[in-house]
A and B are shown apart, each in its own frame.
Chain A
Amino acid sequence: MKEFGFPLLLLSVLLVACDPSSNRDYQRYIVVESYLIAEQPLQPVLLSWSSPVEQEYRFQDSALPDADVRVQLIGSDGEPDETFPYQMVQPGVYQPADLPTHRVQPRERYRLLATIPGEGKITAVTAIPDTFQVVSNVPESVVYQQDTLRIQISNSITTERQNVYLFQTTASDIRLKNMTPFYRDLVEGGDSTVEEFTNNASTPINEQNFQVTKEGTIELQFPWIAAAFYGPNQIIANSLDRNLVDFLRSQEVQTGGSTLPPGEIPNVISHIDGGVGVFGSLSADTISTRFEKPEIP
C-alpha cells in the first residue's frame, strides 16, 4: 500500500481543493430609486431593501417605510439653499410633502437625504442637465428606412464631462401587424411581447457622436433601429446626468456584453453614500412624427 501513498494523497488534495466553493455572504442594503427632471416638479423617491438573490423579489415586500426623506437644492457654496421634505404615501414610496410648486432647476445640484431610524443614512447628489429644445422642423411623416429623419437640438451647457443623450420612441398604434419587420420577428419568435417595445429606448449615447452644425446646434440622424412600430410616434430626446449614465452602463455590464469574461459580475455604480441604486436626473424634449410603411414594389 505504501507505494500508493503519495498518489492517493495527491489525489485527495486535488479532490478537496477542486470542490466547488461558494462565497455568498449576504448582506442587505438600502436601495434608492429617484429621478429629477429639469423644469418638472420633484419626483417620488423609492426606498427599499435589497433581497437575497435566491428569494422572490417584490417591491412591496422589500419597501422601506418610515424614513425621513428630504431633497435639497444646493447652492454654489455647497450648503442647502432650499430643503424639500418628503412624506411616505405608501410603504417605500415618498413624495414631496408640500404642493408641487418647485420646478427642478437645470444646471443646479440637488441632494437626497434619507434617514432610516436604527438603520442608517443615505445621501446622494445629482447635477441636473441643462435643458434643450428640438429646433429643426420635423416632417409630419417619414418613410421607414427610405427617408432620413434628421433632428437638430439646441446646444446646452454641460454639467458633466460631456452631455450624454438617450433617445426614446413611444408608439401610439401598438399592434403586432403594425410592427416593423425586425421587432415583429422578435415577437413572433416568442422572445418578446408587443408591449415591451411600446417605449423603445437607445443606450446612452455621448454627445460627441453627433455633428455640430454651423449654428452650434447638434444634429442627429434618427436610427431606424429605434422604430418598432409604424404610424404615429413620439421621439423623446433625454439628456442624462452622470449618475444615470454610470448606473445604466454598469447595469448593462452585469447582464453581459462587456469585455469581462462570462460569470464575472461587478457591482453597479451607484453614487449613493450608504446604499445602492440610482438618484439621477435628466432633461428632455419631445417631437412627434409618423413612420410610414414603405411600399413594396
Chain B
Amino acid sequence: MNVSDSLARQEASVYGYISDIQTGETLISANVALLDQNRGTATNTSGYYSLTNIEPGSYTLAVSYIGYRMYRTDIELIPGEAMRLDIELVPEGVTLDEVVVRSEREEEELRNIGVAQVESSRIRELPAVFEADLFRSVQLLPGVKAASDFSSGLYVRGGGPDQTLILLDETTVYNPSHFFGFYSTFNPDAIKDVRLYKGGYPANFGGRIGSVLTVYNKDGNRNDFQGTATIGMLASRVMAEGPFRYGSWMFAARRSTLEPLMALLRRSTDSVPDKFYFLDINGKINLDASPNDRVSLAVYSGGDRVLLPFNEDATIALGYGNRTASANWRHIFSDRLFSRITLTGSHYYSEPDFEIAGTTFGRNNTIHDYSAKADIEYLPNDRHSISAGLWSRSLLLNFRDRFDGVETFRNRIQAIYSSAYLQDRWQPAPDWVLQGGVRSSHFSQGNYLRLAPRLSIEYQATNRLRLQAAYGRYHQYLTLITNEAFAGFDVWLTTDEGVPPAYGDQFVLGMKTIPFQNHNLDIELYYRNMRDLFELNPFVTDVSGLDYEELFRFGEGYAYGAELYLERQSGRLTGFLGYTFGITQRKFPGFNYPILDDPSNARFYSPKYDRTHDFNLVLNYDLSDRWRVTSVFSYATGQAYTEPSGRTQIGNLPWSNTIREVFLVEELNASRLPSYHRLDFAFSRFGTLFNLAEAEWQFQLINAYSRKNIWFYQYDFDENPVEQNEINLLPILPAISYTVTF
C-alpha cells in the first residue's frame, strides 16, 4: 500500500440527492459547493451529487438552484467518512420557520456552455396562442428560431428540426407536435426540467449534428397529493401527483376541446372536420426501493386525429402520434460510483389516408425504437469525474406508399444503432475545468462506424466571469421528411448503402458573467459546418422503382453567429433579453445553380428559416399579490424567400389544355420578407376557488398591435400579370384560461 492510497482512505466525501422540500422532486443541475474549499459540482439528471477526496474537517456546504433559496449547512467530516446528505431545497416565496439565507446566485453558478434551461413555470406564464407550449418558450431563447407562428419546430443554430434530438425521460420522441406542428406534445403541467444543449454538447449525447433537448417529467409529489386542472379555449388538461408507500406517482392528460366550436361552425360553413382532436397522456411511477436504489417507470402516449370530408366524394383522414415508455434504475454503489440503467421504447406512426372520387392513396411511416442504455459516473479523486455509457437500439422503420388499393412502394429498414462514450471532467486547478470525451457509434444499415471527439474548456477568470470554449464532432443517421407548413405527414428515413450519415463540427466560444447582482449575462459565438446532409429530393414526386439513394439529395452547409442572453431572475420584475446574430447557408447540387449553367455548379443559399437578427424580450412583473403581467416582444429579420424574376408559359402539352406557368429564378431565397415583430401580453389573476383551492385566471393577447407579419408570398396566375399575394401569420388573438390547483 502506497502513501497516496493511504491518504485517499483518510479523505472524506459527501454525496446524496437534492430535492424540493415540498414535492420531493429531485432537482437536476443544482449547484453544490464546499464554500471553504472553492470546490463544487452539480447534480446529474437524477438529482444526485458527490464530492469526494475532501480533507477531514469542518465545512460549509451550500446548495443553490434557480427558483429556490440557497441552502447552507455546516458539516464535520471525519477521516474516511462517506457522508450521505440528502438535501431538500425550499422554493422561493415559501415561508418556513427555519432561517434560510436568500439565494446569492453569484456565489456559485455553473451554467455550462451552450446549455439553456427553460423553467417549467415560465412555460405556463408566457402568453401563448390558446395553449401554453414548451417549444414556443424554447423558441424565445437566443440561437433558436421559429419557422413561423404556425410551427413549433426548433431551428437551433442553423439546423433544421431533425437536427435536434428530443428526449423525454431519456426516450427519443420522433414527432413532438400536435395540430400539424402548431403545438408541441409536452404537457406543461407534467414537466419538471427542460434543458436545451444548443451546440458543442458533450459525449454523453449523440445521434444528431445539431442540438439536444432533454425533457424530464415530474416524478410525482413524494409528500402530498396535489393536482391542477386547466380549462382553455383550445384544450383542457389535468395533472395529479402524490405519494404512495414506496415512492410517488404522476399522471397528466390533455385533450383538445374543439368539438363545441366545430359544431357551431358546421351550421354555417362547409368543410368543417368530422373529427379533429389531439390527446396526450403522461404517467410516471417512482419507486424509492432503498436509500441507494431508485426506479422509475414513465409512459407517454399522444396523437392527433383528423377526419375531413371536403367537396363531394372526398375525405382526408390523418392520424399521427408517438408512444414512449422508459424504465430507469439508478443505483448508488458508493460515494464514488453512480449508475443508471434505462430501457426505452418509442413508437411513432404517421398514417395519412386520402380518398378522392373513389380512389384511395396514402403514405405510412412507422418507427419502432427499442433501446437499452447504461451509464456510470465514477469519481476516482477530487480532480476527475469520469463517465461512460453504452446505448444500443433496435430501429425498425417502415415507409409505405399506397395508390388505389395497391402498394406502390415499400422500404423497410431494420437497423441496430449502437453507441458508446467515455468522458472525463478534469479540474487541474480550481479555476480550470476541462472536459474531454469521445463517442463512437455504429449503424448496421450500411455498416457505418464513426468516432466523434468532444472537448470543452472553462476558465474562471474572476468570481463573476467565466470563459468557455467547446468543440465537437457529431454524426446523424436519420433524416426527417417534413414540410414547414404542415407536420402531419412527417416521415423519418435512415442512412443505408449509398446514403452515408451526415456529420459536422461545432466550435463554440462563451463568456458567462454576472454584470450586476441578480443578473446573468451570457455571450456565445458559434461556428458549425454540416456535411453529407441527406434530405428527400423535393423533385422526387414518385418513389416507385427508385433505388434508396435516389430518394435523396446530398448537400452541405454552415452556420455561424453570436448570441447574447441577459437575464434577471428574481424580484418583482424578472425576465430576459435574447439577441442572436446568425447566418445559415446550405448547398445542394441541382439546386440554385445559374439558369444556363451546369446543375452541379450549385451555390449556397439561405434556408427560409434563416434570420440574420433575432431579438426577444420577455418580462414578468408582479403588479400585486394577485396580479402579474407577462409580455413578450419579438423582432427579427424577415425570412429568406425566392423572388422570381422572369416567367413564361408552357401551353401545348399533348395531353392537356392547361397552361403550365413557369417561373425563372436568378437566385434561390435571395430576397427577404419584411421584418417580423410581435407583442404578446398575458395577465394572470391569482385567487381561490371558493376557498377550496388556488385558482388562476389567465387573459392573453397575442399580437397586441395586430402586426401583419408575412409568412410567404403566393402567386396568383389567374391574373395576368401575375399577382403577388401576402399570406399572413397570426392576427391579433385574445385567449383566456382558468387553472385550479388543489
Contacts and interface: CB of A to CB of B under 8 A. Distances in A.
Interface string A219-252: 0010111110000000010100000001101111
Interface in A5-21: 13-15, 17-21
Contact of B713 (A13, A59, A263): A263
Given A19-B675, A182-B314, A254-B663, A263 B642 contact: yes
A74 to B, nearest CB: 21
Contacts of A15: 675
Given A26-B645, A35-B653, A223-B404, A207 B545 contact: yes
A204 B643 contact: no
Interface residues of A, number: 97
Interface string B585-623: 000001110011001000000011100110100000000
Interface residues of B, number: 91
Interface stretch (A43-51, A79-87, A101-109, A133-141): A43-51
A22 interface: yes
Given A17-B612, A238-B655, A25 B595 contact: no
B648 A50 contact: yes
B660 to A, nearest CB: 5
A54 B665 CA distance: 13
Given A23-B670, A46-B652, A262 B484 contact: yes
A20 B708 CA distance: 14
Nearest to B676: A18
B707 interface: no
A20 B675 CA distance: 6
A259 B482 contact: yes
Given A23-B671, A25-B666, A252-B541, A264 B641 contact: yes
B658 interface: yes
B110 to A, nearest CB: 30
B664 interface: yes
A182 B312 contact: yes
Given A20-B638, A223-B403, A162 B545 contact: yes
Contacts, number: 269
A282 B596 CA distance: 25
A253 interface: yes
Contacts of B544: 205-209
Interface in A175-231: 180-186, 189, 195-196, 198-199, 201, 203-209, 211, 221, 223-227
Interface stretch (A65-73, A124-132, A269-277): A269-277
Interface in B407-425: 408-409
B121 interface: no
B647 interface: yes
A246 B590 CA distance: 12
Interface in A110-160: 144-145
B648 A51 contact: yes
Contact of B541 (A26, A51, A203, A268): A203
B613 A266 contact: no
Contact of A199 (B403, B485, B656): B656
Contacts of A162: 545
A180 B357 CA distance: 8
A268 B663 CA distance: 8
Interface stretch (B22-30, B33-41, B501-509, B720-728): B720-728
B538 to A, nearest CB: 4
Interface of B: 147, 311-314, 356-359, 403-406, 408-409, 481-485, 535-536, 538-546, 590-592, 595-596, 599, 607-609, 612-613, 615, 635-639, 641-658, 660-676, 711-714, 720-722, 727
A33 interface: yes
A290 to B, nearest CB: 17
A22 B635 CA distance: 20
A238 to B, nearest CB: 6
Contact of B539 (A168, A196, A205, A249): A249
Nearest to A198: B657
B541 A27 contact: no
Given A182-B311, A266-B665, A199 B358 contact: no
Nearest to A228: B357
A209 B481 CA distance: 21
- Report, nearest first, the 5 A-B pairs whose CB atoms are least far apart: A208-B545, A18-B675, A263-B712, A23-B670, A185-B312
Given A14-B615, A209-B408, A223-B404, 13 more contacts: A22-B643, A24-B666, A26-B666, A33-B652, A48-B648, A196-B657, A208-B544, A221-B406, A238-B654, A258-B541, A263-B608, A263-B712, A267-B665
Given A198-B657, A251-B660, A29 B646 contact: yes
A253 B538 contact: yes
A204 B542 contact: yes
A277 B595 CA distance: 11
Contacts of B667: 23, 25
Contacts of A297: none
8 contacts: A18-B636, A18-B638, A24-B666, A195-B657, A223-B404, A263-B608, A263-B673, A277-B662
A97 interface: no
**Of residues A14, A51, A59, A166, which shows the largest number of chain B Cβ atoms within 10 Å of its Cβ?**
A14
Contacts of B359: 223-226
A225 B360 CA distance: 9
B148 to A, nearest CB: 9
B655 A53 contact: no
A76 interface: no
Contacts of B713: 263
